[in-house]
């Protein structure tokens, strides 16, 4: 079994329902020991002229390969009728593979760990809810990385439920 971290985000439509749909799909599929961070409302990153996001991190164990986890993430986005016309722009659902065990992989389809996780407070703040001692391979401990970033405007607003 591999330990995976998925980053969830949405800023269009029913944002909370979109995030919850991923947790429900994980529970119905080949994922076990599912743990969810709180849901955080976060300011947009990259393209800032857009609505705020809801973000969360889900940790789980799975027998899926990294590419199968990526396919699962893409299937969740498609099921949520993902709208994403601009890089880092508005979207109905975004599911990123943040880490897969401590694997390092530089593949155009899936880079592990996620190449921008270490500079995104909207990833690191919820990550610390589920993995307070997490070491992001190649970058350091998540708590140290988080402490170097501005987390202004990142506010807990809810909870995800594991069915």
For the stretch 55-106, pLDDT in tens is 999 999 999 999 999 999 999 999 988 876 767 778 999 999 999 999 999 9
Looking at residue 84, its pLDDT comes to 64
Looking at residue 36, its pLDDT comes to 98
**Active site residue ranges:** 82, 91, 94, 96
Q: Where are the alpha helices (DSSP H) in 80-120?
A: none
What is the Cα Rg of the chain in Å?
14
Burial of 9 (0-12, 13-18, 19+ CB in 10 A): buried
Does residue 28 have a pLDDT over 80? yes
Task: Give the percent of the chain with pLDDT over 70.
Answer: 98
Burial track 73-107 (b if 16+ CB lie within 10 A, e otherwise): beebbeebebeeeeeeebbbbbbbbbbbeeeeeee
Average pLDDT over residues 8-31: 96
Fold (CATH) for 2-159? Alpha-Beta Plaits (3.30.70)
The two beta strands, 140-141 and 38-42, are: unpaired
Q: What are the C-alpha distances in Å from 145 to residues 105, 109, 120?
A: 20, 25, 9
Q: Where are the domains of the chain?
A: 2-159
Task: Give the percent of the chain with pLDDT over 90.
Answer: 90
Report the mean per-residue pLDDT for the chain. 95
Looking at residue 49, its pLDDT comes to 87
Nearest to 71 by CA among 62, 39, 126, 53: 62
């Amino acid at each position: 079994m591999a330990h995976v971290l998925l980053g969830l985000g949405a800023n269009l439509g029913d944002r909370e329902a979109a995030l919850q749909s991923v947790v429900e799909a994980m529970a119905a599929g080949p994922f076990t020991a599912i743990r969810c961070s709180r849901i955080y409302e976060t300011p947009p990153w990259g393209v800032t002229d857009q609505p705020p996001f809801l973000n969360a991190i889900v940790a789980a164990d799975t027998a899926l390969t990294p590419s199968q986890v990526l396919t699962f993430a893409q299937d969740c986005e498609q099921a949520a009728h993902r709208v994403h016309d601009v890089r880092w722009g508005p979207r109905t659902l975004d599911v990123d593979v943040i880490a897969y065990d401590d694997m390092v992989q530089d593949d155009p389809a899936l880079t592990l760990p996620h190449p921008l996780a270490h500079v995104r407070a909207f990833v690191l703040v919820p990550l610390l809810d589920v993995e307070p001692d997490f070491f992001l391979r190649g970058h350091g401990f998540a708590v140290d990385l988080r402490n170097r970033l501005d987390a202004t405007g990142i506010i807990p607003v809810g909870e995800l439920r594991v069915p």
